[in-house]
Amino acid sequence: MANHANAMSKVKILVVGDSGVGKSSLVHLMCHGEALSNSSWTIGCSIEVRVHEYREGTPSQKPYFIELWDVGGSNSHKNARHVFYNPVHGIILVHDLTNRKSQLNLRRWLAEVLLREGSGSKTRTPLVEDFDAEQFGGFSQLPVFVVGTKQDQISEYRTSGRVRSCSLADECSADEIYVNSHDQRSLAPGSSNAVKLSRFFDKVIERQQTTTTTTARTDTGYSYLERENSMYRRNKSTSAFISMG
């Protein structure tokens, strides 16, 4: 069993959004299938892991570790959180359905991550105010997934209105779901939300597979993949003291 676990491939997904939107509760629900009893502010980054069956039910089925990196959204840490952004294979954007501003701010979160991912750098980059599809169109093919939380606190009418008014998911060709992170039925196996999430994980794995097959060399003689793997090892070696639940 241990050898099987060690042999399993893994992918890294960033979970970003404003402070207080419920990222930690969402990640806990995704990984454990139950509500988080005691939620607290995330300082730095907290990492949760779940097993996902890639292309389940097909001859290509294979288990993968899905690492969900819950990045703290406090403005006081915005100059330091870039260290968690590279490498990355997918992005989950989280907003609060009762807070319109948190939805609008997803554009800045996406631009912030994509600018870092596209540059292949972990150093500080200029402040980005908004996501622009044309600017980032050829910059990254990272799969994106949008989640609206606190569904239980908003009426059905207003929820459907937000579906019509939200354009970021459409711009990114991303699925969008709405959840109550305190209700495990929001991601119940076989539900529409669970199917969309599983499909997103499959896309992330396919992105990672594409990156793995990249063999192009840089001027220094190292491939983009080799740089990513080196950064990934450094990230993991320090995760013990940069991660606070």
The residues pairing with 20 across neighbouring beta strands, listed in sequence order, are none
The residues pairing with 94 across neighbouring beta strands, listed in sequence order, are 147
DSSP 101-125: HHHHTHHHHHHHHHHHHHHT--S--
- For residues 215 and 218, what is the distance between their CA atoms, to the nearest angstrom? 10
pLDDT of residue 62: 97
16-47 b/e with 16+ CB inside 10 Å = b? bbbeebbbbbbbbbbbeeeebeebeebebbbb
Q: Which domain holds residue 142?
A: 2-242
The average pLDDT across 144-170 equals: 75
What's the whole-number average pLDDT of the chain?
Answer: 80
Q: How far is CA 28 from CA 35, 37, 47, 70, 183, in A?
A: 7, 10, 10, 10, 12
Sign of the CA dihedral with 187 first, then 188, 189, and 193 last: negative
H or E element that contains 89: none
pLDDT of residue 134: 60
The owner of tokens 């793995």 is 212
pLDDT of residue 129: 58
Which tens digits make up the pLDDT trace of 61-119? 999 999 999 999 988 778 789 899 989 999 999 999 999 999 999 999 999 998 876 55
- For residues 64 and 58, what is the distance between their CA atoms, to the nearest angstrom? 15
Q: Which two tokens stand for residue 16?
A: 């970003």
pLDDT of residue 172: 87
The band of 211, judged by pLDDT with boundaries at 50, 70 and 90, is confident
Cα–Cα nearest to 79, from 40, 121, 118, 44: 44
The average pLDDT across 2-25 equals: 87
The average pLDDT across 198-203 equals: 98
CATH number at residue 190: 3.40.50.300
pLDDT of residue 166: 59
- For residues 83 and 218, what is the distance between their CA atoms, to the nearest angstrom? 22
Half-sphere exposure of 47 (CA within 13 A, CB side): 16
Number of domains in the chain: 1
Strand-pair category, 45-54 with 90-96: unpaired
